[in-house]
């Protein structure tokens, strides 16, 4: 359509043309009124620009209907601060609707009202048609009782925020003012979920409105909240822990609905926005797996976002891509974006490129709804549509809940410094509770006295809770839930049963066309007279656990085969392409084995597995990095959850993290898992850090982890070279009932010792080879297999045995990396206490460096030879 023939013809054509060009580049960059008008012009272009020569009004109506369905969301009245759409825009569209096309007018009102939907992005015609039919279906008028209950939710949410503002004016609470109807939305979502058979809900949300949700939706005691705001410890039975601020804490409870009770978990989360997304999915999947085949229908994940974060944080996209892969699907998540239309002080045109903040969901054929948060009826309907879509199709639905933020980013922030005009509109905006109450009073559904009375009842209840808060005794109930711990069973296992497991895993199914080279690999699994290599030890650990009723879940990039072609848990038929996983059908197994290649993501997948480990305590949950170097792509999960969650939120996990580590001349991106970082984060018995060097020790640590009575994450510096090193094998006797994990392995002569070489990992094999080459039989080589908690007693015993021998710490990493900087003073103190003549440790290793490893193989070999030689020669 030509702009000069539009209703804008009285305005400077050049100005409008430029503005329209800007709109086509970035619709969010122009004012709301212009954006709506330009949207009208595009709709009319779609409906009439290629109008066929025949067909008359019927064809025009069909084309306009399709245009409205595709683009009506651009015209919808979504912004509570903007008021109704300008008359000129409505007239512009109405002028192009043939007379008597009443259905077309209704369609336009539906798609351009306070609730709208996007449909054009959906590739699957059946899905799109279902969504269109559901959205356009007549909506029964809400019952009077339903509207009164909605009003009570709004008043309760409003009074809660006002009360906190009066009692704690200098405290940050990130209130829901301007978004109070999110309580209405979530309550409708929970009730509709229960009606469709959902029994469990896992919620993740940022801090905006979180306290309101916990109190008014989930029923957490306001007296407890007030006590925590005043400084009471959230976990008094474990008060030595630092805990966390109230708006980060989680809660678990039963929410009663007309269709039964819902087990609802609100996960604790950090201020790292969106980091909770994959954790929610992981915990939901764990609950689904525990329930069984219909678990996806019975467990609902819900994630709340903010507009600024949801479009900007890459973890959102990573998590969305977990929706379909078999090992990670949760049957769809319902997302709610609290669209404040601002992020801290950042405005929309500064925050994103896409028209809507929900643009990411277009990539996965999701249901995308937009709703004006000041229309409670539309808010309720959006929740029902989203839930029904999810239950019908097992796909994500997202609700763009367009609201505003009455205060600044927090209650003590001054927003008028940067958004003076916006906050003029906010100041003039009537709270939704007030507006909705006036409407219901006018309709005769409630009296003003009843409205005032309910508000007063809310205030009285909050005041009573406030007065009771000094004496409120927190009993730790609600979160975290009780978690089943392991039995503490021994890690050794009957050797004959291990033979049986190995023999079964060495056989391919009858008639399977196995790759020619796979037959040799399978034969290596048989335990004959030869010792056991690393890949077989891992398979035996998993198989033995399965026969004991402990499940195993292993995920990561390429884990089925193994990045180093060592695992081969999935045999692929060369003719049919069918995959056979022997551990999944192991004879005598009493638990499930799951192994899944993951998308090329560290952040989302590690977060997912962490969430899974929180819930499914009867399963050994393992995530493996392709190379340990890449794990820093998930650093937020490591920093905020794995290493700190128990101290902050009393949330224990037994997650195993396998990080292939070791300098082997492959360059700086395939050498180091950054052992030093994990050691720096180790404190207060929060994690286990191991660097096993024998297959038997790896077998034992996996079984020890599965049976541990105390749940702690396990960080494993796993091998690459040792997977095939002929010397890196263990006899079957090292796996038996009377054996276990050895935190320290000593290789020393029976007589006197002139020097103690202390090391960890594969460098021990180089040291043993050098000792033999030199004939230095009086040198003891001590492998530190568990670095945290430090095996102090075992090490002290070594130092007491040879108090006169100097001790050299040997490592492959540069001196400012690896364990040296963390271990030096600790071992020195142990040597001093053991009566060593010289407590000071010597160092043999690479010099400090900015990059963890070099990229030239010859240089690597030279450096490795020098550091090994220096271990035998370095002097104080």
How confident is the model over 505-524, as pLDDT tens digits?
A: 999 999 899 998 988 899 98
Instruction: Please choose, from the candidates 134, 121, 137, the residue with its C-alpha nearest in 3D space to the C-alpha of residue 368.
Output: 121
Task: Specify the pLDDT at position 484.
Answer: 53
pLDDT at 482 over 60: no
Whole-number pLDDT of residue 58: 63
| Whether residue 215 has pLDDT greater than 50 | yes
Range in 152-161, 407-416, 786-795, 835-844 with the lowest mean pLDDT: 407-416
CA distance 779 to 209: 64
C-alpha closest to that of 1 among 96, 122, 77, 76: 96
Residues above pLDDT 70, as percent of the chain: 90
pLDDT of residue 46: 54
Is the pLDDT score of 869 beyond 80?
Answer: yes
Confidence check: pLDDT of 89 > 70: no
User: What is the side-by-side strand order in the sheet with 688-690?
Assistant: 593-597, 551-556, 619-624, 656-660, 714-718, 688-690, 786-788
Say if residue 826's pLDDT is above 60: yes
Residue 567 pLDDT exceeds 90:
yes
Q: 12-26, 124-138, 531-545 — which is least confidently predicted?
A: 12-26
Most confident of 2-16, 392-406, 511-525: 392-406
Q: Is the dihedral of CA 41, 47, 51, 56 positive or negative?
A: negative
Cβ neighbours of residue 355 closer than 8 Å, sequence gap 6 or more? 26, 27, 28, 74
Higher pLDDT, 270 or 479: 270
> What is the model's pLDDT at position 36?
59
- At 10, the pLDDT band (50, 70, 90 cuts) reads very low
pTM (two decimals): 0.92
**Measured between alpha carbons, how far is residue 774 from residues 322, 386, 572, 766, 873 in Å?**
54, 72, 47, 12, 11
Percent of the chain with pLDDT over 90: 78
pLDDT band (50, 70, 90) for residue 270: very high
How many CB atoms are closer than 10 A to CB 511? 7
Pairwise pLDDT comparison (857 vs 485), residue with the higher score: 857
Q: Quick one: pLDDT at residue 486?
A: 65
**Which residue ranges form the domains of the chain, and what is each CATH number?**
3-110 (no CATH), 144-410+430-471 (3.40.50.970), 495-735 (3.40.50.12470), 744-873 (3.40.50.11610)
Q: What is the pLDDT of residue 624?
A: 98
Looking at residue 107, its pLDDT comes to 84
Separation of alpha carbons 218 and 253, rounded Å: 7
Whether 721 has a pLDDT exceeding 70, the answer reads: yes
Quote the pLDDT of residue 53: 40
Answer for the pair 531, 730: CB distance below 8 angstroms, yes or no: yes
Range scoring the smallest mean pLDDT among 289-303, 385-399, 423-437, 775-789: 423-437
pLDDT of residue 33: 52
E strands, 531-669, are 551-556, 570-572, 579-581, 593-597, 619-624, 656-660
Residue 489's pLDDT band (boundaries 50, 70, 90)? confident
Note the pLDDT of residue 51: 43
Tokens coding 100: 């008597």
Average pLDDT of every residue of the chain = 91
- Please compute the mean of the pLDDT values over residues 644-661 and round it to a whole number: 97
Least confident of 67-71, 275-279, 742-746: 67-71
Q: How big is the chain by its Cα radius of gyration, in Å?
A: 32
Does 822 have pLDDT greater than 90?
yes
pLDDT tens string 139-164? 888 999 999 999 999 999 999 999 99
pLDDT of residue 66: 85
């Amino acid at each position: 359509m030509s702009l000069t023939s539009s209703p804008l013809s009285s305005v400077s054509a050049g100005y409008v043309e430029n503005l329209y060009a800007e709109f086509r580049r970035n619709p969010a960059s122009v004012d709301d009124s212009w954006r709506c008008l330009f949207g009208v012009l595009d709709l009319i272009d779609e409906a009439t620009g290629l109008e066929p020569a025949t067909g008359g009004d019927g064809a025009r109506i069909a084309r306009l209907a399709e245009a409205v369905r595709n683009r009506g969301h651009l015209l919808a009245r979504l912004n509570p601060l903007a008021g109704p759409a300008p008359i000129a825009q409505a007239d512009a569209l109405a002028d192009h609707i043939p007379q008597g096309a009443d259905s077309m007018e209704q369609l336009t009102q539906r798609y351009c009202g306070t609730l709208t939907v996007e449909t054009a992005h959906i590739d699957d015609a059946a899905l799109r048609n279902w969504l269109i039919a559901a959205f356009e279906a007549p909506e029964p008028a809400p019952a009077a009782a339903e509207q009164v209950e909605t009003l009570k939710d709004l008043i309760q949410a409003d009074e809660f925020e006002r009360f906190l503002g009066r009692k704690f004016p200098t405290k940050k609470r990130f209130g829901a003012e301007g978004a109070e109807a999110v309580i209405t939305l979530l309550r409708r979502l929970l009730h509709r979920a229960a009606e469709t058979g959902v029994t469990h809900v896992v919620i993740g949300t940022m801090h905006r409105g979180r306290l309101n949700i916990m109190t008014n939706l989930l029923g957490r005691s306001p007296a407890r909240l007030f006590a925590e705001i005043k400084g009471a410890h959230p976990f008094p039975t474990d008060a030595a822990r630092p805990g966390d601020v109230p708006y980060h804490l989680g809660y678990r409870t039963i929410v009663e609905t007309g269709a039964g009770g819902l087990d609802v978990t609100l996960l604790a989360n950090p201020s790292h926005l969106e980091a909770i997304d994959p954790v929610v999915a992981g915990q939901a999947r764990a609950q689904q797996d525990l329930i069984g085949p219909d678990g996806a229908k019975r467990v609902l994940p819900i994630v709340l976002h903010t507009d600024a974060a949801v479009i900007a944080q890459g973890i959102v996209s990573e998590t969305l891509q977990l929706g379909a892969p078999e090992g990670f699907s949760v049957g769809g998540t319902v997302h709610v974006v609290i669209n404040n239309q601002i992020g801290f002080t950042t405005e929309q045109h500064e925050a994103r490129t896409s028209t809507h903040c929900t643009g990411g969901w277009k990539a996965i054929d999701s249901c995308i709804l937009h709703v004006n948060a000041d229309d409670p009826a539309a808010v309720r309907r959006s929740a029902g549509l989203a839930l029904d879509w999810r239950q019908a199709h097992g796909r994500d639905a997202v609700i763009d809940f367009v609201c505003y933020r009455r205060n600044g980013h927090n209650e003590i922030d001054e927003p008028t410094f940067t958004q003076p005009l916006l906050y003029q509109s906010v100041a003039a905006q009537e709270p939704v509770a007030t507006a909705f109450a006036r409407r219901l009073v006018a309709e005769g559904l409630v009296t003003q006295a009843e409205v005032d009375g309910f508000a007063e009842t809310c205030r009285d209840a909050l005041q009573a809770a406030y007065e009771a808060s000094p004496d409120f005794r927190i009993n730790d109930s609600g979160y975290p839930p009780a978690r089943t711990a392991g039995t503490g069973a021994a890690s050794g296992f009957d050797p004959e049963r291990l033979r049986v497991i190995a023999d079964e895993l060495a056989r391919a199914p009858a008639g399977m066309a196995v790759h020619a080279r796979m037959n040799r690999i399978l034969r290596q699994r048989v335990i004959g007279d030869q010792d056991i290599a690393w890949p077989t030890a891992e398979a035996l650990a998993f198989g033995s656990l399965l026969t004991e009723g402990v499940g195993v879940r292993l995920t990561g990039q390429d884990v089925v085969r193994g990045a180093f072609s060592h695992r081969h848990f999935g045999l692929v038929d060369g003719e049919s392409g069918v995959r056979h996983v022997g551990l999944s059908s192991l004879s005598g197994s009493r638990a499930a084995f799951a192994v899944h290649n993951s998308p090329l993501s560290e952040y989302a997948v590690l977060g997912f597995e962490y969430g899974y480990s929180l819930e499914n305590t009867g399963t050994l949950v393992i995530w493996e990095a392709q190379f340990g170097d890449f794990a820093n792509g998930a650093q937020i999960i490591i920093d905020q959850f794995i290493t700190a969650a128990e101290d902050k939120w009393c949330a224990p996990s037994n997650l195993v993290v396998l990080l292939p580590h070791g300098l082997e001349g492959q360059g700086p991106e395939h050498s180091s898992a950054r052992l030093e970082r994990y050691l720096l984060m180790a404190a207060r018995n929060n994690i286990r850090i191991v660097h096993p060097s024998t297959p038997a020790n790896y077998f034992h640590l996996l079984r020890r982890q599965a049976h541990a009575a105390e749940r702690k994450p396990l960080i494993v510096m796993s091998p690459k070279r040792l997977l095939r090193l002929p010397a890196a094998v263990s006899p079957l006797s090292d796996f038996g009932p009377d054996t276990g994990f050895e935190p320290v392995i000593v290789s020393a002569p029976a007589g006197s010792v002139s020097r103690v070489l202390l090391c960890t990992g594969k460098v021990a094999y180089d040291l043993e080879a050098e000792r033999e080459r030199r004939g230095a039989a009086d040198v003891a080589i001590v492998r530190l297999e568990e670095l945290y908690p430090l095996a102090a007693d075992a090490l002290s015993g070594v130092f007491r045995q040879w108090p006169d021998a100097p001790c050299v710490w040997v490592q492959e990493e540069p001196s400012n990396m690896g364990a040296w900087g963390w271990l030096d003073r600790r071992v020195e103190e142990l040597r001093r206490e053991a009566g060593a003549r010289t407590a000071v440790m010597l160092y043999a290793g690479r010099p400090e460096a900015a990059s963890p490893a070099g990229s030239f193989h010859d240089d690597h070999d030279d450096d490795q030879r020098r550091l090994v030689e220096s271990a035998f020669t370095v002097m104080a």
